[in-house]
Amino acid sequence: MELIIDGHNDLPMQLRGRSGYRVDGLDRPRPDLQTDIPRLRAGGVGGQFWSVYVPGDLSEPEAVVATMEQIDAVYRMVAAYPDDFAIACGADDVERAIAAGKIASLIGIEGGHSLATSLGVLRAFARLGVRYVTLTHNENTSWADSAVRESQVGGLNDEGRAVVREMQRIGVLVDLSHVAPVTMHAALDTAFAPVIFSHSSARALHDHPRNVPDDVLARLRDNGGVIQLTFVAPFLSAEYRAWSAAADAEWQRLGPPARPAEWPRAPRPGEDPATLPDWPGPDRIVEPAYASWLAAHPKPPVTVAQLADHVEHARDTAGIDHVGLGGDYDGTTELPEGMGDVSGYPLLLTELSGRGWSPEDLGKLAGGNILRVLRESERLAEEPLWPLTPAR
């Protein structure tokens, strides 16, 4: 089985919300999560970009603090399971970790708001091992336009172009998931090294604002970058997206009772994380009236075959050397049938093998292409700023 190097997993966010950043218990099944070590092993995951996401509506200073806490959680998780995880900051680190039977643990920031419009903050994060920054999340920054907001700066302004250039100068990957097409083109106009999409799908198959248009996929081939196709059901299926919108509308119509904040606070110094309020997450079925609506309006199925269609379209448009996988596990509950947790990757590889994919091409998709991009970004970087002594 080909080992996966996945572009996006939100486990650190879930650890914050569900256990006050406690990292114990990941070496056994955790049904409250989509990710644990046994299922990572079952899914054939050899490398993972852990997303250190914080909400885009936090103030920039708050976002920097919260991102630091998320990065700390990744390091503590890796330290707690040294036989299973190893921090990886470059392609050689990834290969050493995999050769030692460990899961290479890379770090990606999901949203340029975490930089607080500061190249110094960017460089500090790079020294902590951050290997990509998504230019926006679902909110515009002052220098880049998001996919789901009205354009404010025409893609990137001069500050945004300076951020892209500095990221590539120090070897941090520019991630174009979540940004508007005009931002994608502006970043490709500016880039001198490969860019990535850490978790996106193909807009030609489903016109979702989070998906990537064909004209961008065609440019990705010339840039040398990679789109890591995501598993999020509303990005894969127009029918499912319509159902999801109707479900959201019904939830709002019912006037849901107040719930704890969607972004739970971190433990305070000296505070027992176990005493923090429960975080309900996105599950709404506990509301009886809503459960009744769901029973009358069942979810349309989203299949592994539909996910494979997006993978193949990206391959056909960008080329086999420019596709990868970015599941978005623990960042969504809406996933294809049979792929509800990180053990599901073999189902997709089996589907593609049945469509005639060669072992060599499956290897490129699974991890070979993103490993190449990492290595190329290192080669082109003028001043890589990763940790001098990363954990092995």
Kindly name the residue from 2, 6, 8, 206 that is annotated as catalytic. Answer: 8
Helix (H) or strand (E) holding 126: helix 119-127
User: Is 113 part of the annotated catalytic residue set?
Assistant: no
User: Is 214 part of the annotated catalytic residue set?
Assistant: no
158 backbone dihedrals φ, ψ, rounded to 5°: -60, -40
User: Is 137 part of the annotated catalytic residue set?
Assistant: yes
Question: Which residues on neighbouring strands pair with residue 323, listed in sequence order?
Answer: 227
Helices (H) and strands (E) counted in the chain, each on its own, are 15, 9
Task: Determine the Cα–Cα distance for residues 384 and 387; give it in Å rounded to an integer.
Answer: 9
Tokens 């189902």 — which residue?
347
68 backbone dihedrals φ, ψ, rounded to 5°: -60, -40
Residue 392 CA from chain centroid, whole number: 23
Residue 34 CA from chain centroid, whole number: 14
Which residues have a Cβ under 8 Å from the Cβ of 305 and sit 6 or more positions away? 351
133 backbone dihedrals φ, ψ, rounded to 5°: -130, 125
Whether 235 contacts 211, CB under 8 Å: yes
Task: Determine the Cα–Cα distance for residues 206 and 202; give it in Å rounded to an integer.
Answer: 7
Amino acid at 74: V
User: Is 185 part of the annotated catalytic residue set?
Assistant: no
User: Is 10 part of the annotated catalytic residue set?
Assistant: yes
Kindly name the residue from 6, 84, 93, 110 that is annotated as catalytic. Answer: 110
Instruction: Return the number of other C-beta atoms located less than 10 Å from residue 8's C-beta.
Output: 30
User: Is 8 part of the annotated catalytic residue set?
Assistant: yes
β pairing state of 130-134 and 103-110: parallel
Kindly name the residue from 6, 36, 145, 328 that is annotated as catalytic. Answer: 328
Kindly name the residue from 10, 84, 321, 330 that is annotated as catalytic. Answer: 10
Kindly name the residue from 185, 199, 206, 310 that is annotated as catalytic. Answer: 199
Kindly name the residue from 178, 185, 206, 310 that is annotated as catalytic. Answer: 178
Kindly name the residue from 6, 36, 84, 137 that is annotated as catalytic. Answer: 137
Task: Determine the Cα–Cα distance for residues 8 and 265; give it in Å rounded to an integer.
Answer: 22
Question: CA–CA distance from 172 to each of 20, 129, 249, 264, 379 (Å)?
Answer: 29, 9, 39, 29, 12
Catalytic residue ranges: 8, 10, 110, 137, 178, 199, 328
